[in-house]
Amino acid sequence: MTFGHGTAMYVGAVLGTGVIALPALAAEAAGPASLLAWLALVLLSAPLAGTFAALGARYPDAGGVSTYARLAFGEHAAAVVGWWFYLAVPLGAVPAALFGAAYVSAAAGGGAVTTTVTAAVLMAVVTAANAVGLQVSSRLQLVLAGLLVLLLVVSVGLSLPHADLDNLRPFAPHGWTAVGSAGALLVWSFAGWEAITHLAGEFRRPRRDLPRATGAAVVIVGTLYLLVAFATVTVLGPGAARTEAPLGELMALGLGGNARWLAAGAAVLLTLGAMNAYYAGAAKLGAALGRDGALPRALAGGSMAGEVPRRSLAVHSALSFVALAVVVAAGVGAQPVVLLTTGSFVAVYALGVAAALKLLPRRGVGRAAAMTAMVAVAALLLMSGPYLLWPLAVAGAALLYLRLNRRRRAARVEEDRPASVAEPG
């Protein structure tokens, strides 16, 4: 991948589906004060992004954060953080696909059936793109990123003349503590800085291009998030908390008439961009975990740069479809699934930043970013609260797998050992 491909991957992974629905969910939680949560997370994301870029440039491996944890703390930590990420992506794919599919359903009609079918189609398209190979996937990402940035800039630019600063009052209708609640939701919008580390080995010049791509993505993503959030609050006013399609409302005001299909197109682009980046990263990670013994050895194919990890991708895709079926059958909303997913990503951040503090040179820029990021991660852990129980359970499962796998290997060695010959006596 080149600098442009890497920037597009980052923009797709981080910008993603958060911009489709979360401005409205955050406004519902904290009112106009949700803008403070957006600003705080934009500022906090810069040291996080810098930390993972420094690690990726120094240790370009498909294992990503799992590799950094192994180098810093050993195989148990590597397995735990690898499982956190690998299992979080199929879970997170569900609300991501449903967010985008809801816009299609709003435009085409059909209700829950259209939403579910569209979500499944989005998952299938991203799986197919990654099965062909990362070169095709990264080129697709470059096109998607360019289109979605253009759509967002046009939508916000045309809607801002309708902004009313009176909509900023009362600024904190639910109290200042609600800003923290909004922030816990918005972690979803800023997860992704660790995702591209799994693809660091695919860059032509990772030491040069990965940090540059990260810096460009931080500026692009931060600016777009703040613009969309500000427009949502000041243009839509109190209605922002009641809409499921804030981007569609902004487009309708800016363009006039019925903009549902244009909004649906933007939502599909955002969804495909985010899912494409995460599927690519998770598939590479699964292959690396299989290579390192943290997952079955059968998944190890494709862990090397330039290879396609099709078996890992197939398992990941199957888990995504199963998760979609469970969520639809249970009838739970997107919010609890989002919070479960962000709990896992916050845990990944915590162990990844801890590894950075141990691995990166003491006087380097990356080390300074990691020290700042640790403060940010501590705040995110507090905001995640009970949703950290999910990564805790996954950690237990990962450690149990390692223990059972070690026993199986020991038993196999014992079976292969030739029987000792009894001495004559």
* Per-residue pLDDT tens over the stretch 147-206: 777 877 887 888 888 888 888 888 988 888 888 878 877 777 776 676 666 666 667 777
What does the pLDDT look like over 9-49, one tens digit per residue?
Answer: 777 667 766 777 678 778 888 889 989 988 988 888 888 88
The burial of 36, by beta-carbon neighbours within 10 Å (0-12 exposed, 13-18 middle, 19 or more buried), is given as: middle
Least confident stretch, 212-216, 357-361, 371-375? 212-216
Residue 271 pLDDT > 60: yes
Residue 419 pLDDT > 80: no
pLDDT band (50, 70, 90) for residue 425:
very low
The answer to whether residue 417 sits within a structural domain is no
pLDDT of residue 84: 93
- Average pLDDT in the 99-105 region? 85
pLDDT band (50, 70, 90) for residue 285:
confident
Question: Across all residues in the chain, what is the average pLDDT?
Answer: 81
Total number of domains constituting the chain? 1
Residue 93 pLDDT > 70: yes
Residue 208 pLDDT > 80: no
Predicted TM-score (pTM) of the model is 0.75
Give the highest mean pLDDT range of 207-211, 233-237, 259-263, 329-333. 233-237
What does the pLDDT look like over 384-409, one tens digit per residue?
Answer: 888 899 999 999 999 999 988 888 87
The answer to whether residue 424 sits within a structural domain is no
- Average pLDDT in the 77-81 region? 92
Give the span between the Cα atoms of 362 and 296, in whole angstroms.
36
- Average pLDDT in the 312-323 region? 92
pLDDT of residue 421: 46
The answer to whether residue 177 sits within a structural domain is yes
The answer to whether residue 401 sits within a structural domain is yes
Q: Above pLDDT 70, what percent of the chain?
A: 85
- Range of 74's domain? 3-410
For helices 3-15 and 206-236, the axis angle rounded to 10 degrees is 40
The answer to whether residue 420 sits within a structural domain is no
Give the CATH number, domain containing residue 194: 1.20.1740.10
What does the pLDDT look like over 110-128, one tens digit per residue?
Answer: 788 898 999 999 999 989 8
The answer to whether residue 419 sits within a structural domain is no
Q: Above pLDDT 90, what percent of the chain?
A: 14
The answer to whether residue 421 sits within a structural domain is no
